[in-house]
Chains A and B, each alone.
Chain A
Amino acid sequence: MKKTFLALGVLCASVLILRVSAQQDADIKIILTDGQRPVIAITDMRGSGEANAFMGTFNKTLFDEIDGAAVLKVASKSVYPLNVPQTPQDFRIGGAQLADWGRPPVSANYLAFGYTAVQNGQLVLFGYLYDVNQPNPQAAQVIGKLYFGPVSGEGAIKVAREFAADILARFGAKSLAGTKIYFVSDRTGSKQIWSMDYDGSNQKPVTQYEGIAFMPALSLDNTKLAFTLLSQKNPSILVHSTETNRRLTFVNPQASVNASPDFTPDGQNIVFSSSLGGGFSNIFIASANGSGLKRLTSVRAVETEPKVNPKTGAEIVMTSGRSGHPQIYRMSIDGADIERLSSGEGDAVNPSWHPDGQLIAFAWTRGFEPGNFNIFVMDVSKKQFIQLTHGAGRNENPTWAPDGRHIVFSSTRGGSSQIYSMLADGSQVRKLTGQGRNTMPVWSKQ
């Protein structure tokens, strides 16, 4: 069995931990090692006639999609051969030579090329992916496909994303195209839930309640959005349909706090934090409409942020103050077998499951002053962790993209709190928001 480890550009402490991991035959299953990624060359494509006006947008989108997915290494465009193919017919004697792309300095394994044109009022992409290592162009074609979109910048983005998704699918990567990020923004005054496309485009409001709507959570099938509403009344949980944006029934317990909901993977139950009974906020589970309420923990400490393992549905990670300051704990779905995952140092909060149900991301002040959170990833079964951010502002609320390779989080590194995405090794940090203050992102599941 081939073992790979998340070992990129992190502090010595993390490298040390990963060495320990190796000795213990541990297996943090994030495959992001640069040296092992196939190399792809992506030509700057051109459009014929009016299609050419959108090709700047197209080329940037295609590059960002492929590069951002981190399953392929994109060869630097500055070293590409001068003879750039646009169609398969361009590979001929005296024309483009496939082998040129496989040799240094490009050293690509794959070549993406093509062109666009306007046909019958549509933008058409003729997209090709060739395996550079094949002996002749006829054998090299991996993808040769037409993509259609409106004749506009949006159309160019659409065809670029679809082409990228097809390329990434060849390498086992899920494209994030079509996924959404829900988050909390105060840009219109009070905090409300907003949504945007995975790359930060198309930002729009989801809730418009009086008071503060925050702590969003999505069901695994993305059809339901749960969140916490804090108004003149006590904080309570609301559930919306994401399809109609209508409010669904959820009967809150009679408690001074009901907050921080999350769905079980089947969408049939909601776990949340409640002060029911007048004591400390502890963890409860109820059906998706609030009936069948059951207490899972009973402790004189604040417990919140219960997150159900999306793969098994059988365990919960949460934040608990039962050992003093908040730390990450795990327990069975029935509340049994509670154990602490974080070391007890600092404050550890905001746990979020990787789609594989083995890793979590969370925010921790370990090594920093109170409030100065950084993003960490931990293997739950081994309790081994690595640190992804290193003191640039407050970094909080990490949640995983459905590809299991990206993490979205909030950070104050640029001054005000904004949403950023990054690869799960901490690289390729991209800022997705800029208006108002933005926090608590959650990535849709597919």
Chain B
Amino acid sequence: MKINKRHASALLLALSLVAVASGCKKKVPAPPPPPSPRTEAPPPAPKPVITFSAEPTTVERGQCATLRWNVENSTQVSIDPGVGSVSASGTQRVCPTSTTTYTLKATGPGGSESATATVNVTAPPPPPPPPAAAKKSLSEILAERLRDAYFDFDRSEIREDARNVLTQNAEALKQIFSEYTDAVVNVEGHCDERGSAEYNLGLGDRRATSSKEFLVNLGVSGSKLRTISYGEERPACTEANESCYQQNRRAHFSAGQ
């Protein structure tokens, strides 16, 4: 083939440009690498494979959970904290007092691996508040802790037996008023049926007032005691005999407004 000189120089330029651009690789194709020499080395030992879990994962304080695990390819398995060496497969009951993350570490020919399982410990709900001392009504308290003071026929002076009763009542009232700070207690004056209803209204008032004055002298707050006379209108007992009359001639204590 006849190549003129001008064409030949252009071709050469092109070739050299290609050569520059291609690094001349195509110029010499690389030979395939020689096959690597086949040695009889054993395959590397597999690493331990761990399955590790806690059941349940959340317990209330004081309850227990079960750790469950299964490890392959290990020679030594331990769980921390607090469990120590264990066999490759097993369960362990744990009762942590707070949230604890258990770490299982397995070591074998293939190396060491570890896994974790967490037991969340929640605080139990608070116990119900102590039975609030079962707050009784003022009426119940008064009925329980105060006694009636009794009087002689047609009299409003405090008798000896009534002095004792009222002295005990005074102590009880002071306690009651400290517990029931806004309580007001009625001091009721009552009479037996034998006087006139009109006179008895005045006499009952005197019995209430005498009783109140006695209590105030023993330190009971007078502003918390309110006198009221019921005369003979609210007898405690309705038979016509002295035993009954005596029950009616009384100062009685009731819850006020």
Interface residue from B205, B227, B228, B233 paired with A281 (Cβ < 8 Å): B205
Residues A257 and B202 in contact, CB atoms below 8 Å apart:
yes
User: With an 8 A cutoff between CB atoms, is A18 at the interface?
Assistant: no
Asked if A191 is at the interface of the complex by the 8 Å CB criterion, the answer is: yes
Kindly state whether residue A418 has any CB partner on chain B within 8 Å: no
Residues of A within 8 A of B202 (CB): 257, 259, 273, 275, 280-281, 302-304, 321
Contacting residue for A256 out of B153, B196, B197, B229, CB 8 A:
B229
**Would A319 and B153 be within 8 Å (CB), given that A234-B228, A256-B208, A278-B209 are in contact?**
no
Residues on A with beta carbons closer than 8 Å to the beta carbon of B154? 321, 324-326, 347, 370
Top 6 closest pairs, chain A to chain B, by CB: A371-B194, A281-B202, A302-B202, A349-B196, A257-B205, A370-B194
- Is the Cβ of B229 less than 8 Å from the Cβ of A321? no
Enumerate chain B interface residues (CB-CB to A < 8 A): 153-154, 193-199, 201-203, 205-206, 208-209, 227-231, 233, 257
Q: Which of B196, B198, B205, B231 contacts A275 (CB 8 A)?
A: B205
A212 partner residues in chain B, CB cutoff 8 A: 233
Q: Which residues of chain B are near A396, meaning CB under 8 Å?
A: 196
A214 close to B (CB within 8 Å): yes
Contacting pair B195 A371 (CB below 8 A): yes
Q: What are 28 A-B contacts with C-beta separation under 8 Å?
A: A214-B197, A234-B228, A235-B201, A235-B229, A235-B231, A259-B201, A260-B198, A260-B201, A273-B201, A275-B205, A280-B206, A281-B205, A281-B206, A302-B202, A302-B206, A304-B199, A304-B201, A305-B196, A305-B198, A321-B199, A325-B154, A326-B196, A347-B154, A347-B194, A347-B196, A349-B196, A370-B154, A439-B197
Q: Which of B153, B231, B233 contacts A370 (CB 8 A)?
A: B153
When chains A and B are docked, how far (Å) is the Cα of A212 from the Cα of B200? 15
How close is A234's CB to chain B, nearest CB, in angstroms?
Answer: 5
CA distance A319 to B203 in the complex (A): 12
Residues of A within 8 A of B233 (CB): 191, 212, 230
Is B205 within 8 A of A256, CB to CB? yes
Report the Cα distance A257→B231, complex, angstroms.
Answer: 10
Interface membership of chain A positions 353-390, coded 1 if the CB is closer than 8 angstroms to chain B and 0 otherwise = 00000000001000000110100000000000000000
Do A257 and B229 touch across chains, with their CB atoms under 8 A apart? Answer: yes
Cα distance, A259 to B196, chains bound together (Å): 13
Please name 14 further chain A to chain B contacts, defined as beta carbons within 8 Å, in addition to the given A214-B197, A256-B208, sorted by A numbering: A212-B233, A234-B228, A256-B209, A256-B229, A257-B205, A259-B198, A273-B202, A275-B202, A281-B205, A321-B199, A347-B194, A349-B196, A373-B196, A440-B197
